[in-house]
Amino acid sequence: NAGVTQTPKFQVLKTGQSMTLQCAQDMNHEYMSWYRQDPGMGLRLIHYSVGAGITDQGEVPNGYNVSRSTTEDFPLRLLSAAPSQTSVYFCASRRDSPYEQYFGPGTRLTVT
Amino acid sequence: AQSVTQLGSHVSVSEGALVLLRCNYSSSVPPYLFWYVQYPNQGLQLLLKYTSAATLVKGINGFEAEFKKSETSFHLTKPSAHMSDAAEYFCAVTHGMIYNQGGKLIFGQGTELSVKP
């Protein structure tokens, strides 16, 4: 099992550019989430999905889109990058029980 | 609404000393509580979790935490610190109904643990 994988590991964007952060898991987990991590703020939920075809917003969804066409994949799209989106992005997946959430290694994004 | 407060953004201990990382939560319903560890440039790894079973929870790497409802606390402890424990630690809260609707974990701000030789 590869667990949760994320690509790319690092990315630099210019303001206004768009891109997609990739996330995949091979554990057949129904639940997947995207978080952003900023210094002193812990992790904040951007979007989540409870299964293929079902997504919903988290705490900080503005500027991001998601879709879930398969159980395995949960890409995060930045529509028009802004410097405020400079952050480390983590994808996570979990099973229903015993509730352990598995995190990917993260994508470090810088928007100039 | 649920929230988590971690007291102390930086904690420094000597090798062999007791580790105590504090976490207080706010929840109007019985909570599920988690501690995660993050090593530099890595993702988060689950240390331990409380999901309404035993109030004293043992985790990996010798860590444990005790759920105290009266104090709304879930402090993380380890009797003897190792150099390899240096990392950032996050406390997180949710409750069963929200969690089963998609895993909405609310994280604290994090506590960076340093271990001095």
Q: Which pLDDT score, from 0 to 100, does residue B20 have?
A: 98
Token couple for B66: 């005790």
Best to test chain B binding among A101, A102, A107, A108 (most B CBs inside 10 Å): A101
Task: Tell me if A26 sits within 8 A of A3, measured CB to CB.
Answer: yes
Instruction: For residues B46-64, give the mean pLDDT.
Output: 90
Contact B100 A41 (CB under 8 A): no
* Cα–Cα distance for residue pair B90/A44, rounded to 1 Å: 12
Which is more confident, B51 or B70?
A: B70
* Bridge partner residues of B106 (DSSP): B93
Q: What span, in angstroms and rounded, lies between the C-alpha atoms of B2 and B50?
A: 16
**C-alpha closest to that of A9 among A101, A111, A75, A88:** A88
pLDDT digits (tens, 9 = 90+) for A96-112: 665 678 899 999 999 99
Distance between CA atoms of residues B88 and A41, nearest Å = 13
**Chain segment A37-80, per-residue pLDDT in tens:** 998 888 999 999 988 999 999 889 999 999 999 999 999 999 99
Chain A nearest-CA residue for B52: A98
**Count of alpha carbons within 13 Å of B60, Cβ hemisphere only?**
9
